[in-house]
Amino acid sequence: MEQMMDDSNEYLLKEAPVKKAVLNLSVPMMIGTSVGAIYNVVNAYFIGLLHNTQMISAITIGTPVFIALMAIGNMFGVGASTYITRLIAVKDTAKAKKVAGYGFYMSLIVALLLGAIGVGAINPLLKLLGVDAAMHSYALQYVVTLLVTGFTTTINFTLEQVVRSEGAAKESMYGMIINVGVNLIFDPLLILFLQLHVIGAALAIGVANLASMLYYLYYLSSKSEHLKGFATHIFLSIKDQIEVLKIGVSELMNSGFMIISTLLLNVYAVRYGDDVVAGFGIATRLVQVPQFLVMGIFFGVIPLFAYNYSSKNKERLTASFKTACAFIALIVFIFVSLTYLFRYPILGIFTNSSSLIQVGEYILTASLATTIFNGFAGLILGMFQGTGKGLPTIIISIIQSLLIIPIILYMNNNFGLHGLVWASTVTEFIAFLIGIGFYLYYRKDFRAI
């Protein structure tokens, strides 16, 4: 009985019924990522209580900075975690600990460098973000605070991935819930009670990420099945660093797609007025709820893909992919439908401006359509990440990153606001088709002979 308890996480990866494994790995991630989306909505809600459109625009315009901090964490987290899972599958826990330590310390170093460079070049950065005179002061305060506290965000994202590498989906979820709980306490305290406004919103993010980061460190150091003592390791061979980065860089490119698209959308949205900028901000946060539920599935099953590919159980690998695909289809149908059906009362929670609600509804509709394609493309990318296929993951991510630029430029120039709103949907649809093409090409490698 004790042995079964000790190996419970690996049991899910190795031999539990596929539906049970997918559900047990995905549901905690769905809960965790969903409360993460709620966390972003709550930030916008408390700022919205101040009835200041410039403040809402400022936290929207600063989104690429948060995505950049998250991207660094995911680069080392996803790259390290998929490699760790494959190492655990072949019982090489000594190297797995080294990989975990390397990911942890590298995310810390790069985050501190990114923060220092960002603060040192704050004025060019704000100009790049598309900040106008009306929101300049708020954007300056928000972005600087994000950068100064950003190392907590980066390390938190890295460690969350490392925790999931051994199938500890529940522990990953607990960390996310801690994050949201702390944020719910500090958001009203800092934004409203202490009247720090946008600085308070950014500080609350930093404190919340610090809390979950400390929880993950505690778990990995004292409760982990395979990674206890990881923090005593920092150095890794060049060969193993390449193994981490060939997957991690693809995740960085994928996040780079979000940064570039958000940056371009912000720059062009400013030209259409504060209502459009705020509308993008509110709609983006709302659509994150169904998007993050879907993300919970394909992030949750990546360790399942990695373990069974490394242990050469291709029948289980294929069954896991098909099961995850069916769950994503169900989630997309239910939650996209519900969000669209109740879009007006939901938007009304954030603002009483009829013009802002009208714009937000239009942007929300396009964002929900994007979610449909994004979910399946994400699952395909997760399959490549989990199985260590660096080339297709990098190519898909590069295509996404590069494609969004000409599509936004073309659609905005030819269709104005309508083109800007639907540009991301068109890009995700193309990325979805490319992902299917790569999956068909590599399908023989995933199936049992």
Comparing CA positions, the residue from 83, 212, 81 lying closest to residue 156 is: 212
Q: How far apart are CA 114 and CA 213, in angstroms?
A: 19
Q: Please, which residues have CB within 8 angstroms of residue 403's CB and are 6 or more apart in sequence? A: 427, 430, 431
Q: What distance in Å separates the CA atoms of residue 86 and residue 246, rounded to the nearest whole number?
A: 14
Residue 397, token pair as written in the block: 């991510």
The boundaries of the domain holding residue 115 are 24-446
Check pLDDT > 90 for residue 381: no
pLDDT at 71 over 80: yes
* Gap between the Cα atoms of 285 and 291, Å rounded: 10
Q: How is residue 380 written in tokens?
A: 């395909």
Do residues 352 and 278 lie in contact, with contact meaning Cβ atoms separated by under 8 Å? Answer: no
Of the two residues 75 and 45, the one the predictor is more confident about is 75
Residue 13 maps to a domain: no
CA distances from 52 to 47, 49, 144, 262, 395 (A): 8, 8, 20, 21, 42
Q: Could you tell me if residue 116 is inside a domain?
A: yes
Write out pLDDT tens, residues 111-161.
999 999 999 999 888 888 877 777 788 889 999 999 999 999 999 989 988
pLDDT score of 35: 62
In a domain, 195, yes or no: yes
Contact between 235 and 102 (Cβ < 8 Å): yes
The tens digit of pLDDT for each residue in 297-320 reads: 887 888 888 888 888 888 898 899
Flag whether pLDDT at 31 surpasses 90. no
1 within a domain of the structure (yes/no): no
Helix axis angle for 93-120 and 150-164, nearest 10°, is: 160
Say if 8 falls within a structural domain.
no
Number of compact structural domains in the chain: 1
For residues 202-207, average pLDDT: 91
Q: Which residue type does 292 have?
A: F
The answer to whether residues 171 and 16 touch, using CB atoms and an 8 Å cutoff, is no
Across the range 265-290, mean pLDDT stands at 78
Residue 6 lies in a domain: no
Average predicted confidence (pLDDT) for the chain: 83
d(C-alpha 306, C-alpha 311), whole Å = 9
Token reading at 149: 């506290």
Contact 261, 404 (CB under 8 A): yes
14-29: per-residue pLDDT in tens? 888 889 888 888 887 7
Confidence of residue 39 (pLDDT cuts 50, 70, 90): low
> Is 18 a domain residue?
no
Tokens representing 300 are 């949750």
pLDDT at residue 5 tops 50: no
Does residue 11 sit within a domain? no
Round to the nearest angstrom and report the end-to-end CA distance of the chain.
Answer: 36
